[in-house]
C-alpha cells in the first residue's frame, strides 16, 4: 500500500476545516483532520510544503515509523502546528490500514470496550430562563450529560455563550472580537447558576463547566470548592494550562473533578499532571495531539493513574477528527466522556459520516476505516474564510486569558 499522493483540502462550509487526503496505489483514500482553529493556514503550509512531498512513495502501513519520522525528523519537536500536521497524517494512515483490513478502525485498536460513548452537549444562555431552555433542548435531542455556561451580570460579551442555537467558537471576522472579563463577578455569579440548575433538573444529570483558563490558582480553588454541593462531572481548564503546578494548588482545596488539556499537544504537557494525579480527565483532541498513535499513548499512561478520557469535540474538530475520537474512545479502557457539538447541515454534506448519536450515546459505525468520506465537489463550493477566536480584556483594558 504505497502512498501516491497527499493533498490538503481547505473548505469552509459552516466554518473552516483543513483535511489531509492520502491516496494509495490500491486506490484507497485516507483522511486526516488538520484543523487548527484560527491558525488554519499555518498547518496547510506545513503539510503542503514540508510533509506531503515526503509521504509520496512511503508504505502507508508503516504508521509508527511514519509518526517517528515526522516527529523526530522535524528536529523542531512538538507545538500545535507540527502536532496538528502529524495528527492528520497519523489518522489518515490508520484510516487506510483499517480500510485495507476491511474493518472499522476501532477493531485495530483492540476492539470495542463498550457499546456506546456517553457524550455531553453545550448548553448556554444569557440568563436562567434561556439557559434552562437550552438544557431542555439538549435533553430532547437525547443528551445525557450537559456543559453549562452562562453570562455574568455586568459583562457585555463573554466566550462560549450562544443564543437560541449553539455558539461557534471562532467568528468569521477580519480580526479577533474583543470580549470582557471580571473574575470576581464570575465567581460571585456561577455557584447560584448551578444551584438553580440542580433545583430545576435534579441531582442525576451529569453537569460540566468550562472556565476557559481564566482564573488564578487560588480563584480556581475557591470556585471548585463553591461548586462541590452541585456535584459537577468536571470543572474544565480552571487555570492557564501551561502551568502544570497550578493544578496542585487547586487540587489541595477541592474535590471537584478537574479536566484539562485541549490546548496540549504532547504527553510531556501531561507528565506532572498525570504522575502526581492532579487531574481526572484528559481533554486533548486527537487532531492536536499527534493523532491516534500519540493520544492512545497518553490515555494508556493516564489509565495507570485512574485518569480518564474526555476527548475534545467542539465544532472546530471536523467530522474526520470526531470519527477518530470515537474509534479511539470505543477501544480504550479508561473512557470517560466525549464532547459532541453538532456540525451544520453544509458540513454534513461535505463530510459523509457513518458515526451516530442515539439516546445520548455515540458510536463510530461499522464502515471500514474511519467511516467518513469527503466530497470534493461539495468542499470546493466553500473557500477558506478568515476567522479568529476572540480575545478577552479586563475592564481596564488588560489582555486576559480566555
339 binds, among ligand KDG, Mg ion, none (CB under 5 to 8 A by kind): ligand KDG
- Confirm if 290 and 268 have CB atoms less than 8 A apart: no
Min dist. Cβ of residue 121 to ligand KDG (A):
11
Active site residues: 159, 212
Q: From residue 194 to residue 233, what is the string marking binding to Mg ion with x (rule CB under 5 A)?
A: ----------------x-----------------------
| Long-range contacts at 217-221 (CB < 8 A, ≥ 24 apart) | 217/243, 217/246, 217/247, 217/249, 217/250, 218/249, 219/183, 219/187, 220/246, 220/250, 221/249, 221/250, 221/252, 221/253, 221/254
Distances (CA, A) of 277 to 112, 218, 233, 251, 281: 27, 19, 17, 9, 10
- Confirm if 131 and 125 have CB atoms less than 8 A apart: yes
Query: Measured from the CB atom, is 20 or 337 closer to ligand KDG?
Result: 337
How many CB atoms within 10 Å of residue 253?
15
- Alpha-carbon gap, residue 170 to 164, rounded angstroms: 17
121 binds, among ligand KDG, Mg ion, none (CB under 5 to 8 A by kind): none
146-179: burial string, b at 16+ Cβ within 10 Å, e else = bbbbbbbeebeebbbbbeeebebbbbeeeebeeb
Query: Measured from the CB atom, is 121 or 224 closer to ligand KDG?
Result: 121
Q: From residue 167 to residue 186, what is the string marking binding to ligand KDG with x (rule CB under 6 A)?
A: --x-----------------
Number of residues that bind ligand KDG (CB under 6 A): 9
Binding status of residue 90 toward ligand KDG by CB under 6 A: no
Binding status of residue 37 toward ligand KDG by CB under 6 A: yes
Q: What is the footprint of Mg ion within residues 226-285 (CB under 5 A)?
A: 262
Selected from 238, 307, 316, 332, the binder of ligand KDG by CB under 6 A is 316
108 binds, among Mg ion, ligand KDG, none (CB under 5 to 8 A by kind): none
Min dist. Cβ of residue 148 to ligand KDG (A):
12
Min dist. Cβ of residue 101 to ligand KDG (A):
32
Q: Which three cell numbers stand for residue 167?
A: 455558539
- Alpha-carbon gap, residue 175 to 172, rounded angstroms: 9
230-244: burial string, b at 16+ Cβ within 10 Å, e else = bebbbbbbbbbbeeb
Binding status of residue 339 toward Mg ion by CB under 5 A: no
Query: Measured from the CB atom, is 37 or 354 closer to ligand KDG?
Result: 37
Q: From residue 186 to residue 215, what is the string marking binding to ligand KDG with x (rule CB under 6 A)?
A: ------------------------x-x---
Q: Which three cell numbers stand for residue 396?
A: 481596564
Min dist. Cβ of residue 313 to ligand KDG (A):
7
Helix then strand count (H, E) for the chain reads 14, 18
Q: From residue 328 to residue 357, what is the string marking binding to ligand KDG with x (rule CB under 6 A)?
A: -----------x------------------
Query: Measured from the CB atom, is 262 or 316 closer to Mg ion?
Result: 262
- Confirm if 90 and 47 have CB atoms less than 8 A apart: no
Number of residues that bind Mg ion (CB under 5 A): 2
The residues that touch ligand KDG, with contacts defined as CB under 6 A, are 37, 169, 210, 212, 262, 314, 316, 339, 389
The residues that touch Mg ion, with contacts defined as CB under 5 A, are 210, 262
Amino acid at each position: 500500500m504505497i502512498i501516491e499522493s497527499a493533498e490538503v483540502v481547505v473548505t469552509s462550509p459552516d466554518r473552516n476545516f483543513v483535511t489531509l487526503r492520502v491516496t494509495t496505489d490500491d486506490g484507497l483514500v485516507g483522511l486526516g483532520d488538520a484543523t487548527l482553529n484560527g491558525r488554519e493556514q499555518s498547518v496547510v503550509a506545513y503539510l503542503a510544503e514540508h510533509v506531503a512531498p515526503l509521504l509520496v512513495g512511503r508504505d502507508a502501513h508503516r504508521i509508527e515509523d511514519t509518526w517517528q519520522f515526522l516527529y523526530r525528523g522535524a528536529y523542531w519537536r512538538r507545538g500545535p502546528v507540527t502536532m496538528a500536521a502529524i495528527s492528520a497524517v497519523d489518522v489518515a494512515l490508520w484510516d487506510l490500514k483499517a480500510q485495507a483490513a476491511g474493518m472499522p478502525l476501532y477493531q485495530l485498536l483492540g476492539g470495542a470496550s463498550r457499546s456506546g460513548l456517553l457524550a455531553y452537549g453545550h448548553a448556554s444562555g444569557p440568563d436562567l430562563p434561556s439557559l434552562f431552555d437550552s438544557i431542555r433542548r439538549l435533553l430532547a435531542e437525547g443528551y445525557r450529560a450537559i456543559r453549562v455556561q452562562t453570562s455574568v451580570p455586568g459583562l457585555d460579551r463573554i466566550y462560549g455563550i450562544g443564543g437560541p442555537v449553539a455558539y461557534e467558537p471562532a467568528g468569521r471576522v477580519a480580526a479577533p472580537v474583543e470580549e470582557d472579563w471580571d473574575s470576581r463577578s464570575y465567581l460571585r455569579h456561577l455557584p447560584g447558576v448551578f444551584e438553580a440548575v440542580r433545583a430545576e433538573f435534579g441531582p442525576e444529570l451529569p453537569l460540566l463547566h468550562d472556565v476557559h483558563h481564566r482564573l488564578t490558582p487560588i480563584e480556581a480553588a475557591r470556585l471548585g470548592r463553591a461548586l462541590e454541593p452541585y456535584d459537577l462531572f468536571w470543572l474544565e481548564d480552571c487555570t492557564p494550562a501551561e502551568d502544570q503546578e497550578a493544578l496542585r494548588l487547586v487540587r489541595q482545596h477541592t474535590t471537584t473533578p478537574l479536566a484539562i488539556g485541549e490546548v496540549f499537544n504532547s504527553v510531556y504537557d501531561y507528565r506532572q499532571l498525570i504522575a502526581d494525579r492532579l487531574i481526572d480527565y484528559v481533554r486533548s483532541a486527537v487532531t492536536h495531539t499527534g493523532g491516534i498513535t500519540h493520544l492512545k499513548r497518553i490515555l494508556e499512561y493516564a489509565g495507570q493513574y485512574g485518569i480518564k478520557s474526555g476527548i475534545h469535540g467542539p465544532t472546530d474538530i471536523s467530522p474526520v477528527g470526531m470519527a477518530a475520537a470515537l474509534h479511539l474512545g470505543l477501544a480504550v479502557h479508561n473512557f470517560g466522556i466525549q464532547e459532541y457539538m453538532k456540525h451544520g447541515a453544509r458540513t454534513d454534506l461535505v463530510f459523509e459520516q457513518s458515526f451516530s448519536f442515539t439516546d445520548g450515546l455515540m458510536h463510530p459505525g461499522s464502515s471500514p476505516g474511519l467511516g467518513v468520506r469527503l466530497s470534493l465537489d461539495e468542499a470546493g463550493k466553500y473557500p477558506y474564510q478568515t476567522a479568529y477566536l476572540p480575545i478577552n480584556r479586563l475592564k481596564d483594558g488588560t489582555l486576559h486569558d480566555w
